[in-house]
Structure 1
Amino acid sequence: MDINWYPGHMAKAKRLLADQLSRVDVVVELCDARLPYSSRNPDLDKLLAGKKRVLLLNKADLADPAATSAWLNYFRAQGIDAAPYSASTGKAKDALAVIDRAAKEAVERAAQKGIRKTVKAMVVGVPNVGKSTFTNKLHGGNIAKTGDRPGVTRANQWVRITPYLDLLDTPGLLWPRLDDQLAARRLCYIGTVKDDVVDLAMLTIHLLQDMLKVQPQAVMTRFRFDNPDLRGEELLEAVCKGRGFLMKGGVCDYDRCCAVVLDEFRAGKLGRMTLEMPVKKARLTIPGAKKDDENKPQEENSDGED
């Protein structure tokens, strides 16, 4: 299943983002706490070089707390200012404290000149990691358009959060070539890539298999089957029968099955779950990844199946 999706508005959004960088004091990058490696755009490192930057592992309420802690240690060991957050259930003051800490030097420099600075922060990340929900949380109202699909935000939008903080909500950005197909597939799990450009049956099978590696009992309980060793189409069939996704004559309704499995994972209905962990060894064990890449994460409980 080869995955590539880079709609035209993203190239324009990247140019608009670059145009705004000179006005920004702090960049707030959001990733999905369930996929902290796969849900980060590698192009941002070059684009945002030299800017004060914080990384928020958003949707932390849907991720395994122990895994989130491991990821925070991993990022902090690389000198990245990282923190967990939930834009849907968290408190605005917690996110504001992170931004204030990141902007402290700029604010103090302005104060030395007798100026009370209005901090300008930019929110960036791949599609569907919760940037607009984050903006709305800090604003205290629905000022930024949100949705559970990629591409809802198509243009930059400045939002006044406090008298001394302006926030720029930006469109989600992917990179033109999704060379790491394992990461690309995982982006599909969280809805970063549009569902209609991928094979949903194969995507759902891979998601079920990945979830079974991490929390088999939660998956079997939710979808009502009892064999954790099922793979491929047999796994999809078991979910159809277990949840009653059947058409006339007992034929499996695979379309409904795929839609429900993806929706329930994205909504966190299977419990708190993280599908990738930081690298633990110098050599990598992810199937399909380059053997000499030391910076990619390991799969949780990887059994060597891709």
Structure 2
Amino acid sequence: MALHWFPGHMHKALKEIKESLSQVDVLIEVLDARIPYSSENPEIARIRGDKPCIKILNKFDLADPEMTARWQTYLESERGVKTITTTTDNPGNSKQIIDLIRQACPRKSTQPKVINAMITGIPNVGKSTLINILAERIIAKTGNEPAVTKGQQRINLGSGIVLYDTPGVLWPKVENPHSIYRLASSGAVKNTAMEYDDVGFFAADYLIQAYPALMRERFKMEELPATELEFLEAAAKKRGAIMAGGRVNLHKICEILLKELQSGKLGRITLESPEMVAQEKIEMAEAAAKKAADKAKRKQKFKDGSLTPDKRDRKEKRTEKREEQSNRMKKTPR
């Protein structure tokens, strides 16, 4: 599936983030706890450098708690990174973010100097709600669809901390094909930018393998079908997603599955693990190496030309004659 979701305002926002980052003491990146890797913007990681970073795994109440703990260990293995879990419904942990900001800037926290923090995150990750909780007032507009915040703004949180808010941004090209599906499955992109059937099949395939007990319980099945298509067909009959003539409405059942996944009705589910991502990175590196080799091969073929053996011999002879002629001219007295 191709992801067509990088509108002009996102390109502008990413540029503004890069320009403002030099004024920032600590970076806060809000991640979706269900997809910590896929919701992490590689452009932000690239330009962050050695700047301290707090990664907030939001929507923790929707994610598999055991998997979230493993992700926190994995993410904190990177130098300068601290993690914390939050939920949009329970702001309790959100207040600890202020303490983490101060801990990330020990020199400034003991002096009367302002700590500048920047908060970033992909669309629909809950960043605006979190900002309102931190500011203890309505600052950022919230919504249940991606790309609500459009421009960058500065927010005085009090106690010597200024927060740079940024619009939710994806990145120009999502390299990992699995991440594209996970972003769509979690609701990080608008419905118009994805195909329900395609994403639904991906989600169904993962869910019946990773969370079979939850799927059996939710869809009232004694045994799960072996394939995603069979599961969707059986689920459609359970939910009445049937068209005229008794045909299964795959679009409808995929829409139902994705909406229940995004709302947490299926249970606490995480769509990726550190081990999965490690293997996918190996596959991506291998694919990139193959692509580079194929490109070099095509370039060399273009350089050589589409020559038959006879034409190649004639070309080589012409080249030899030109070299002989050039040598004779060099030897001729002037």
TM-score (norm 1): 0.84
Q: 1:197 aligns with which of 190, 193, 199?
A: 193
Instruction: Note the residue ranges of structure 1 that are not aligned, 5 or more in a row.
Output: 294-306
Q: State which structure, 1 or 2, has the greater radius of gyration over its C-alpha atoms.
A: 2
| Paired position in structure 1 for 2:106 | 104
Contact 2:185 2:199 in 1 (8 A): yes
Q: Distance in 2 between matches of 1:284 and 1:145?
A: 38
Deviates more, 1:119-128 or 1:15-24: 15-24
Stretch of structure 1 that moved more, 200-209 or 86-95:
86-95
Q: Give deviations 1:117-146, integer Å, cap 9, x for gaps.
A: 232211112222111111112122332111
Ranges of 4+ aligned residues in structure 1 off by more than 6 Å = none
In 1: Cα distance, 2:222 partner to 2:155 partner: 50
Alignment deviations for residues 187-225 of structure 1 (CA, whole Å, 9 cap, x no partner): 111122222122211201111221222211111221233
- Report sequence identity in percent: 34
Residues 17 and 166 of structure 2 are in contact (CA less than 8 Å); yes or no, is this contact kept in structure 1? Answer: yes
CA gap of 1:166–1:88, structure 2 versus 1, over 3 A, is: farther
> For residues 205 and 288 of structure 1, what CA distance do their matches in structure 2 show?
22
Equivalent residue of 1:158, what SS? strand
Residue in 1 that maps onto 2:19: 19
Distance 1:285 1:131 in 2: 27
| Equivalent residues in 2 for 1:129-168, closer than 5 Å | 129-168=125-164
- Give 1:292 deviation, angstroms: 8.8
**Counterpart of 1:181 in structure 2: which amino acid?**
P
Pick closer, same or farther for the CA change 1:252–1:157 going to 2, 3 Å: farther
Shift of 1:288: 5.8
Q: Cα gap change, 1:20/1:88 in structure 2, threshold over 3 Å: closer, same or farther? A: farther
Question: Structure 1 counterpart of 2:71, which letter?
Answer: W
Distance 1:11 1:265, change over 3 A: same
1:17-64 residue CA offsets vs partner (Å, 9 max, x unmatched):
223223322110111111111111111122222422111111112111
Q: Which amino acid aligns with 2:90?
A: T
Q: Does 1:85 align with 2:86?
A: yes
Distance 2:155 2:15 in 1: 20
Q: What amino acid is the match of 2:178?
A: L
Rounded Cα–Cα distance in structure 2 between residues aligned with 1:96 and 1:3:
35
Aligned pair partner of 1:284 in 279, 294, 302:
279
One-letter identity of the residue aligned with 1:177: K
Q: Distance in 2 between matches of 1:45 and 1:161?
A: 25
Please show how residues 167-186 of structure 1 align to structure 2 within 5 Å.
167-186=163-182
Contact 2:208/2:215 (8 A) holds in 1? yes
- Residue number among 200, 207, 211 corresponding to 2:203 in the alignment: 207
Among 71, 94, 97, the residue aligned to 2:96: 94
Structure with a larger share of its residues in helix: 2
Residue type at the aligned position of 2:20:
Q
- SS of equivalent to 2:279: coil
Structure 2 counterpart of 1:142, one-letter code: I
Secondary structure of the residue that 1:45 maps to in structure 2?
A: helix
Q: Deviations over 1:224-278 (max 9, x none)?
A: 3344234243322222111223345544344432332212111212221112111
Which residue in 2 is equivalent to 1:303? none
How many matched pairs? Answer: 286
CA gap 1:237/1:9 in 2 versus in 1, 3 angstroms: same
Distance 1:105 1:213, change over 3 A: farther
Deviations 1:64-98 (Å, cap 9, x if unpaired)? Answer: 11111111111222222222222332313222222
CA RMSD in angstroms comes to 2.5
2:38/2:179 contact within 8 Å kept: yes
Which has the larger displacement, 81-90 or 12-21? 81-90
AA paired with 1:161?
Answer: L
Q: Is the 8 A contact 1:35 1:276 kept in 2?
A: yes
SS at match of 1:240: helix
Q: For the Cα contact (< 8 Å) 2:43–2:171, is it kept in 1?
A: yes
Structure 2 residue runs without a partner (length 5+):
289-334
User: Which segment drifts farther, 85-94 or 57-66?
Assistant: 85-94
Shift of 1:284: 2.2
